[in-house]
Structure 1
Amino acid sequence: MKQESRQNREKVAAWRESFSHIAGSGCQLNPFMNQTNKQGAVLAISAFVMWGLAPAYFKLLAHVPSIEIMMYRIVWSSLLLAIIVTASKNWNKIVDLARDKKAMLTLIASSSFLAFNWWLFIWAINNGHILEASLGYYINPLLNVALGMLFLGERLSKLHYASVALAVVGVMVQVVTFGSFPFVAIGLATSFSIYGLIRKTVAIDSISGLTIESLVLLLPGVMYWCFYASSPESNMVANDLTTNVIIVMAGVVTTAPLLCFVAASRRLTYSTLGFFQYIGPSIMFLMGVLHYGEQVGQDRWLTFIFIWSALALFSVASYRTGGVTQS
């Protein structure tokens, strides 16, 4: 009896040792086991919830031209980021980065994709295309998988490949059967995926990187405001307080989710980050259908069903393999 009890204790001790070895090694049971990945998960969820609710904000400015709203985003996010950098006394980092030609060229490229994504998203929301915008951000994580495989050496399972293929079929069904191509959806998905990919290749903290990107876009933004902005709202002196508060909030609406997203991208594999992007488009989809009354036609339903199936397959693949890993 004593011998059996001792054997049981030895088995338990061996199990604990094995578990500790697994938990402490690079081969984790799931992608969120360590502290860094937990932080990344919280940041990613925060970013995508804020993005999902963003259409409600931009609808408040539906009467303002899309490019003018983008200009407000650039100007006020630049100011907000400058305040953050000043408060944290990190201007020396900005100056050092400005002297790094390779980093600056990379951030100029990323800022271009970011500006296009901002404009297209605003245009889609204020022209009755919330559902197509949500489709774009449903496609986005699957595109992240493909880019992570091609450029970052992230290894995929067969189910991951199948999920990407299913998404492609969904888009092609809409093109071939109904003769329509989801330009807005593909434009949003492609521009944001490329932006995230570029930013992941730069060893830079999120605030410094976003500050430089905003400053790169600031001069064109100010020039547009001074010489081309034509809406009554562009003259903030003549606006009422409520209108000015809504305009200035463009900085918060723009900066807060981006800071969370970029910080999350530094803590998670690129493909795992895509897992959380279900949150944003789901909120947009429900908002578009239930609150703003957008119609889901037969072509959209088929495409959405294929995309949702692909995302379900992707989720199963990520759960079974513990996330996509980097080689």
Structure 2
Amino acid sequence: MSTKTETSGWLFGIGAFVAWGLVPIYFKAVESVSAEEILAHRIAWCVPVTLLLMILLRKKIEVIQVFKNKKVFLGLVASTALVSSNWYIFTWAVTNEQILATSLGYFINPIMSILLGVIFLSEKLSKLQWAAVGCATLGVVNQMINYGEVPWIALSLATTFGLYGFIRKQLAVDSLNGLLVETMIAFPVAAGYAIWVLINQQAMFLNASLNIDLLLVFGGFVTAVPLIWFAAAAKKIPLNSIGFLQFIAPSMSFTLATQLYNEPLGFEQFLSFAFIWLGLLLYLIKPIQQVFTKPKATLSRK
């Protein structure tokens, strides 16, 4: 893998997780809408948004080829089920004052991604990286113990998205076509539900305000863009690297929950936060060293 490819992978990954870290702001803006209706519009509007992005980027649309490839198609059916479940749980949690629970879920998620990469893809970790995993694990375990109950929101989010990333990495389909097919698979159910609640006068869309209508349509961009970046990153850098980039989003959500939305922050939660960031710091030592040593090596060859 070339340095250019790996660098673009890191940029795509950072962009995806920063966007996901900020996404609670969007869901707070539409919290008057039910989680089911929000999800339906996210999926429904994601189809035309993805098509538009593919046209603007001049990407070849290969939907027919994907549908003909049984292995890829069945893989995308599985990834569609996982990511749709993940979207629903996250949406419900944010609109029900549970942003900290989502933050915990995405702190657990990188550990799952790392383990999936090591166990099934034979990805290797250095001693320093294993120490990083240990620190992050201590932070997550501390959070789980101090919750006082099984954190079902967090565990569900971690499981669904960890498996989603693992499956997508195995499929021979680019990020845009993959997302397009995923949303097309879910589109009939999503559009059908949106139309049903509208007919039965239970919908907020077209019945609340122009602001809500525009925000629900904008959900297509909120859904499509970070996922496209994430899928592109998953193809370009190791799964364990993706795992640690995933600390970006929950850290941002953690900050939003405690500083903007006034969810309570105790000492135990702060301790977990410190453990997890120590793990991230340990993991990043090697990549940072490589960044500063590569230019020197290049100069010495000239």
Equivalent of 1:90 in 28, 39, 60: 60
The corresponding residue for 2:119 is 150
Note the residue ranges of structure 2 that are not aligned, 5 or more in a row: 292-302
1:115 and 1:317 map into 2 onto residues whose CA distance is: 35
Is 2:142 the partner of 1:198? no
Report the identity percentage: 35
Distance 2:105 2:135 in 1: 15
Preserved CA contact (<8 Å) 1:133 1:184: yes
Instruction: Determine whether 1:300 maps to 2:254.
Output: no
Q: So what's the TM-score if we normalise by structure 2?
A: 0.86
Kept in 2: contact 1:157–1:317 (CA 8 A):
no
Report the Cα distance in structure 2 between the residues aligned to 1:231 and 1:164, rounded to whole angstroms: 50
Q: Say which of 93, 102, 110 aligns to 1:124.
A: 93
* Aligned residue runs from structure 1 range 1-327, under 5 A: 34-85=3-54, 88=58, 90-91=60-61, 93-176=62-145, 179-228=148-197, 233-236=203-206, 238-316=207-285
Measure how far apart 1:169 and its partner are.
4.2
Shift of 1:45: 1.6
Amino acid of the structure 2 residue aligned with 1:78: V
Partner of 2:295: none
Please say if residues 107 and 140 of structure 2, whose CA atoms lie closer than 8 Å, have aligned partners that are also in contact. no
1-structure distance, mates of 2:42, 2:15: 19
In 2: Cα distance, 1:99 partner to 1:216 partner: 14
Q: Give the partner amino acid of 2:190.
A: G
Shift of 1:264: 1.2
Q: State the SS of the aligned residue for 2:246.
A: helix
Which is worse superposed, 311-320 or 219-228? 311-320
TM-score of the two chains, using structure 1 as the length reference: 0.80
> How many angstroms apart in 1 are the aligned matches of 2:189 and 2:160?
20
Provide, for residues 48-95 of structure 1, a one-character-per-residue CA deviation record: whole Å limited to 9, x for no partner. Answer: 11111111111011111112111110000012123334564733x110
Cα shift readout 1:10-30 (whole Å, capped 9, x = no counterpart):
xxxxxxxxxxxxxxxx7xxxx
Residue 69 of structure 1: SS of its match in structure 2?
helix
Counterpart of 2:216, as a letter, is: I
Closer, same or farther: CA 70–231 of 1 in aligned 2, 3 Å:
farther
Distance, in Å, in 2 between the alignment partners of 1:287 and 1:198 is 30
Cα distance between partner residues in 2 of 1:197 and 1:298: 34
Code of the aligned partner of 1:90: K
Contact 1:64–1:231 (CA<8 Å) still a contact in 2?
no
Q: For structure 1, which segment, 130-139 or 307-316, has the greater mean C-alpha deviation from structure 2 after superposition?
A: 307-316
- Structure 1 residues not aligned, in runs of 5+: 1-25, 27-32, 323-327
Report the CA distance shift for 1:273/1:255 in structure 2 as closer, same or farther (over 3 A): same
How far residue 274 of structure 1 moved from its aligned partner, in angstroms, is 2.4
1:262-303 CA-to-partner distances (Å, cap 9, x unmatched) read: 111111111112232232222211111111101013443344
Shift of the alpha carbon at 1:47? 1.0
Whether the 8 Å contact between 1:142 and 1:311 is mirrored in structure 2 is no
Over the residues paired in the alignment, what is the CA RMSD in angstroms? Answer: 2.5
TM superposition shift of 1:98: 0.5
Cα contact 1:178–1:299 (8 A) shared by 2: no
SS for the counterpart of 1:154 is: coil
Cα pair distance change 1:119/1:75, threshold 3 Å: same
Give the structure 2 partner of residue 3 of structure 1.
none
Which is worse superposed, 208-217 or 186-195?
Answer: 186-195
**Cα deviations across residues 209-261 of structure 1 (Å, max 9, x unaligned)?**
0000000110111221233466754442x453222111100001111111111
